[in-house]
Structure 1
Amino acid sequence: MRHSSGLHPSIIFPMLSTLIFATSPQVLASKIPIGLNSKHGIFVQEFWQGNSPTLCLTNRSEKNKTVRVSRWPARQLPADLLMRWPLQAGSAQCHSVSGLEGPQLLEFTLASGLRLGLFKIQRPGLIEEKQPEGDVPQIGTLKGEIPQAEQSSVFSSFKGPNGTCSTSNTWIEQSNLWFKAGEPAYVTLLSAGIDVDTLIEMPIETRLDLPHLQIKSMSSDTLAINRIDNQFTIKKGALAAEPAVHQTRLELDLPKVMQPTMFVISGRQRTPDNGWQCFIRGVMVKP
Structure 2
Amino acid sequence: MSLATRCPNCNTLFKVTSGQLQLHEGKVRCGQCQTVFSGIEHLTSADTEAWQKLDLSPRQGNSGYTSDHNLTGGDGTGSEELFANTAPKKPLLNFKHSSPAQKVACVALLVMLGLQALWWQRVPLLQKAPELAAYINTAAPGMQRLFASPATQALQVEGSGLQALDEHNLRVDLTLHNPLPLPARWPHLKVELLDPQGLVLASKSLSPSDYQLRDESAASQAPLIAGKKTVEVLAYLNLSTLNTQLPESAATGFRLELFDQGPSEQ
Same fold (TM over 0.5): no
Structure whose alpha-carbon radius of gyration is higher: 2
Class of the TM-score when normalised by the shorter of the 2 chains = under 0.3
TM norm structure 2 = 0.24
Higher strand share: 1
TM norm structure 1 = 0.22
